[in-house]
Amino acid sequence: MRAIYVDKDIPRMLAVKALKPLWPGVVYSRLSPASFADIGEPPLPGPRWVRVRNLMCGICGSDLSLLHVEADPHIAPAALPGNQRFYLGHEVVGVVTEVGPQVTRFRVGDRVIMDTRFQGANCLSQEIDPPCRHCQAGDYQLCENASAGLGPRGQGGGWGDGFTAHETEIYPVPQDLSDEQAMMIEPLSVGVRAVLHRPPEPEGWTLVLGAGIIGLTIVAALRGLFPSSRIAVVARYPHQAEMAQRLGADVIIGPDQDVYEATAELTHAKLYTGMFGNRMLLGGFDVVYDCVGSARTTTDSLRLARAGGAVVMVGIKFAPLKVDLTPVWYQEVDLIGVYAHGKEAWQGQRMHTYEITIDLLRSGQIPVEALITHRFPLEQWREAIRTAQDKRTGAIKVAFDYRLL
């Protein structure tokens, strides 16, 4: 079994960070905490475990951040002992090839996608009874026992031939979905969860800041779940702007436009400029979905939201940020985080984010084939990574396609 993984090796991480400005290729060297290795075929570690052979896997920005050692060892998750090795690739669809004797949810031949497998251990995967309050509610990504260290961990990931997982860590793929649609369930679910964490006002204005794949999934979720909402998108590249419009964006704010002035014009907010170019709006967007999560975009997002509005932090930089939080106090702007997927309140029910996402895919309004712009075999993994990083290639979603000969 081939796999690409990153170990939490702080000395190696610090060495790569120091050398990267002079030697960008250090992330692929023996000094790097990242490895591309044949780990063999590990046996199933327990009776409720399964083995999966991969069909396709998308390249996610979080995978790239880990590979390129962009995580700062001072961030909160780095303190957790449960996060030691990260197998890259979670936007994966595969086929079950082996099941343990006590597996009840899956049979050999079933197509599956990752559910909680990439989020780390939880009460279900560690078979802890009774589960913590978050696992009881179906929000396994918030598990309070995630670093308890009980039981085995799965090996392998989406960037490779396959993986092992506890049966509770994967999710069945409906037969009527293609492999491409199945692969896109996970990234699309992030947009669905973000929108449901703070839904737009009826016919109100929302801003999607960033038009990479996550920003585009938010546009799709907004238009599919709340069709009356009015959507503005900040897009850097022409192919991103074109896709945002195709998915239902009303207004594109391009790189040559001032986002503060555009906000004032769209929402009829009042724009004020103080000393040193300091700017503030009174009024603004009902909701801003920040799909970048840098210090600059977080600071801007909080100022672009109206008083009593919200900023939903969907993107994140794996480093401490210097951010102006005064709008949270002065304008009572809510700052809301979103991580992966879980259970959602939707149409009077508690539903898995994947269920809502699958219904959106079945509607036919999301052009999955157009979103997957590039495909590579695993042997070309470095070229695939370069393509995913360089948006000038026209990349939206780059995928490893293990069906390619």
**119 and 210, same domain (yes or no):** no
Is residue 25 assigned to a domain? yes
> Which among 299, 321, 339 is the end of a domain?
339
* Local confidence band at 326 (pLDDT 50, 70, 90 cut-offs): very high
Is residue 352 assigned to a domain? no
Task: Round to whole Å and give the CA distance between 15 and 12.
Answer: 5
- Cis-peptide into 130, omega within 30 deg: yes
Task: Round to whole Å and give the CA distance between 176 and 362.
Answer: 9
**35 and 167, same domain (yes or no):** yes
The pLDDT value recorded for residue 81 is 87
* Local confidence band at 404 (pLDDT 50, 70, 90 cut-offs): confident
Of 223, 163, 161, nearest to 192 by C-alpha is: 223
| Residue 109: domain span | 2-173+371-401
**167 and 206, same domain (yes or no):** no
> Which among 322, 339, 356 is the end of a domain?
339
Task: Round to whole Å and give the CA distance between 32 and 21.
Answer: 14
**50 and 154, same domain (yes or no):** yes
> Which among 339, 359, 388 is the end of a domain?
339
Largest CA distance in the chain: 69
**167 and 22, same domain (yes or no):** yes
- The tally of domains found in the chain comes to 2
Under a CB-based contact definition with an 8 Å cutoff, are residues 232 and 386 in contact? no
Share of the chain residues as helix, strand and coil, in percent rounded to the nearest 5? 35, 25, 40
Q: What is the CATH number of the domain that holds 126?
A: 3.90.180.10
**202 and 112, same domain (yes or no):** no
Of 7, 17, 163, nearest to 83 by C-alpha is: 7
Is residue 186 assigned to a domain? no
- How much is the pTM? 0.95
**125 and 229, same domain (yes or no):** no
Is residue 263 assigned to a domain? yes
* Local confidence band at 106 (pLDDT 50, 70, 90 cut-offs): very high
**243 and 284, same domain (yes or no):** yes
Is residue 358 assigned to a domain? no
Q: What is the CATH number of the domain that holds 266?
A: 3.40.50.720
Task: Point out which residues pair with 165 in neighbouring strands.
Answer: 50
Between 66-80, 90-104, 233-247, 301-315, the lowest mean confidence (pLDDT) is in 66-80
Query: What is each CA distance from 202 to 56, 185, 190, 305, 367, in whole angstroms?
Result: 38, 26, 22, 16, 25
Q: What is the pLDDT of residues 164-173, one digit of tens each?
A: 999 999 999 9
**50 and 130, same domain (yes or no):** yes
Is residue 183 assigned to a domain? no
3-state secondary structure of 138: coil
Residues near 167 by beta carbon (within 8 Å), at least 6 away in sequence? 48, 49, 50, 99, 100, 103, 104, 105, 106
Q: How far is CA 159 from the centre of its chain?
A: 16
**257 and 163, same domain (yes or no):** no
Under a CB-based contact definition with an 8 Å cutoff, are residues 113 and 93 in contact? yes
Residue whose pair of structure tokens reads 């052009």 in the numeric block: 367
Return the percentage of the chain with pLDDT > 90, whole number: 94
Is residue 363 assigned to a domain? no
Is residue 360 assigned to a domain? no
Whether residue 405 has pLDDT greater than 80 = no
Residue 307 backbone dihedrals phi, psi, to 5 degrees: -60, 130
* Local confidence band at 83 (pLDDT 50, 70, 90 cut-offs): confident
Whether residue 69 has pLDDT greater than 80 = yes
Q: What is the pLDDT of residues 2-45, one digit of tens each?
A: 999 999 898 999 999 999 999 989 999 999 999 999 999 999 99
What is the β-pairing status of strands 85-87 and 49-58? unpaired
**140 and 227, same domain (yes or no):** no
Query: To the nearest whole number, what is the mean pLDDT of the chain?
Result: 95
**214 and 334, same domain (yes or no):** yes
